[in-house]
Structure 1
Amino acid sequence: MQTMTAEPLFRITYHFHLSATEVVTFNLAFDNAIRLVDEQRYPPPDWARLEQHQCPNCSLNSAQAPHCPAALNLAPLVTSFEHLLSHDEVLLEVITQERKISQATTIQRAVSSLMGLLMAASDCPLTTFFKPMARFHLPLASEEETIYRAAATYMLTQYFRNRRGLVPDFALEGLNEIYRHIQEVNSAMAQRLRGSSKSDSSVNAIILLDMYAKAMPYAIKQALEELAYLFTD
């Protein structure tokens, strides 16, 4: 008897136009828990083993998860761009159910955008906060857009906590903690990739993600004030 597969909650397609004739495509499907639906199985690379540069703040053990959940999601992406350098040019086209976004950019920025999505959609317990942001993914988001989306997501989380009788954190102290953990995740992932990737594109893409993570604690104290004018009325 054939098992019925549930229809994905949403889909996102990334087209990397490397030249007029070379296009690398990632067709991604996500379930109701904002997890990546693995429609194609890939043998996990050695660098994806959990104990290989395991994050110091990781709560998993190899008995629970032989491989790092975030690394498993990143493996096909890393393999696809091993022959390219960070500053190689690419035309990135991202198609969601709502819109199509097309922009000429560098490989590291395009890969970084997809990396953030893939890590959020993994089973890594340290990236759970980012699942709502993955549902409403914004490719190639600027630092200001990322700050706004992260703060808005966190405040909506506090709204639902309050509804459930839990103590909300409207001072955003927990958001600082989330980004401190993510900095450790990014650092450990960069160490994984340095020993596995043949080019610098994937490593620098992680470093670009980490720049946003490092900026967030400052942004919570300072940059959000710069957005206050939007709410004056």
Structure 2
Amino acid sequence: METITIAYWFSFGKGTMEVFDVHLDAGSLELQRNIPDNLPDWTNLDFYQCPNCPLDVEEHPFCPVAANLVNIVNRFGSLLSYNETHLIVTTKERVISQDTTVQRAVGSLMGLIIATCGCPHTLYFKPMARFHLPLANNQETIYRAASMYLLAQYFLKKEGKEVDFDLKGLAEIYHNIQLVNYTIAQRLRAATKTDSVINALVELDIFAQTLSLVIEDSLEDLHSLFAPYLNKIG
């Protein structure tokens, strides 16, 4: 089985370091070897279960998002969101490094994990996870999300299926993500006494709220970049 590995290195000075190796199945893009053997109660599916969750407790006793966030909570639960860290992210293709806050660095890692954890509402982001961009800003994420969704429409059209070039489906995806983020935040408040992990999720949620409400306006800001296509003659 071929595996894609994305490593997050967090350096806190004085030699303190945390390393997270995220292993993805190259075919399914599902997370591998990320869930601890003993899971806390806040990961139970019926503990603040999302109102839009399609999973059944009998078949899925644990929330896939929560279960895959346990290691992050255990290792970052004592830090404050504004603590500084030097982040290095390594993939097979490149190395990315930046000085940033724990909140932003953990949020980037959480976004990758949530997209690939097996949650029915987050699996749409697997293509973005395959081409993961650590610490992406809002405009970069808007571009990536819209490009991903429109490429999906291209494949749907090739298969003779109904397509959505108005991006209404993308807005719906992000609306569902808001509900997931809200209930996961409730779980995290039960799991940790500090704010680093919770605020990392809040930062992700702010973007989800923004995109679902103003997606057309956000894309209009990118309109001028496509002048060579729009003004093409012949």
Distance (Å, rounded) in 2 between the aligned partners of 1:19 and 1:197: 23
Distance 2:97 2:13 in 1: 15
Does the C-alpha gap of structure 1 residues 54 and 14 become closer, same or farther in structure 2, counting only changes over 3 Å? same
Report Cα offsets for 1:85-119 as digits up to 9, x if no partner: 01000111100111101111111111100000001
Matched, 1:29 2:23: yes
Mapped pair 1:145 → 2:140: yes
Q: 1:218 to 1:39 in 2, by over 3 A?
A: closer
Post-superposition Cα deviations, 1:180-232, rounded to whole Å, max 9, x if no partner, equal 00000000000000111121111111100001101102442201111011111
| Residues in 2 aligned to 1:106 and 1:214: alpha-carbon distance in whole angstroms | 22
Change (3 A) 1:40 1:207: closer
The match for 1:154 is 149
CA contact (8 A) 1:34 1:121 kept: yes
2-structure distance, mates of 1:109, 1:197 = 18
- With 30-39 and 181-190 compared, the bigger mean Cα shift is at 30-39
Give the equivalent residue in structure 2 for 1:228. 223
SS at match of 2:31: coil
Which range is displaced more, 75-84 or 212-221?
Answer: 212-221
Deviations 1:38-76 (A, max 9, x none): 167442121110011111100001111100011111110
> Equivalent of 1:53, from 48, 51, 69?
48
Whether 1:177 aligns to 2:158 is no
Where structure 2 has 5 or more consecutive residues not aligned to the other structure, the ranges are 229-234
Question: In the aligned structure 1, how far is the partner of 2:85 from the partner of 2:218?
Answer: 31
Identical positions, percent: 48
**TM-score calculated relative to the size of structure 2:** 0.94
Q: Which residue of 1 aligns with 2:103?
A: 108
**For the aligned residues, what is the CA RMSD?**
1.1
1:185 aligns to what SS in structure 2?
helix
**TM-aligned CA deviation for residue 126 of structure 1:** 0.3
Q: Tell me which stretches of 4 or more aligned residues in structure 1 moved more than 2 Å.
A: 39-42
Q: Equivalents in 1 of 2:191, 2:215: separation in Å? A: 35
Q: For residues 72-221 of structure 1, what are the structure 2 equivalents within 5 Å? A: 72-221=67-216
Secondary structure of the 2:180 match is helix
CA contact (8 A) 1:83 1:199 kept: yes
- Residue 47 of structure 1 contacts residue 192 of structure 1 at CA under 8 Å; is this kept in 2? yes
Find the partner of 1:18 among 12, 23, 47. 12
CA distance in 2, matches of 1:28, 1:13: 6
Given the two structures, how large is their TM-score scaled by the length of structure 1?
0.95
Partners of 1:64 and 1:40 lie apart in 2 by: 17
8 Å contact 1:36–1:122 — kept in the other structure? yes
**2 CA distance for matches of 1:155 and 1:124?**
22
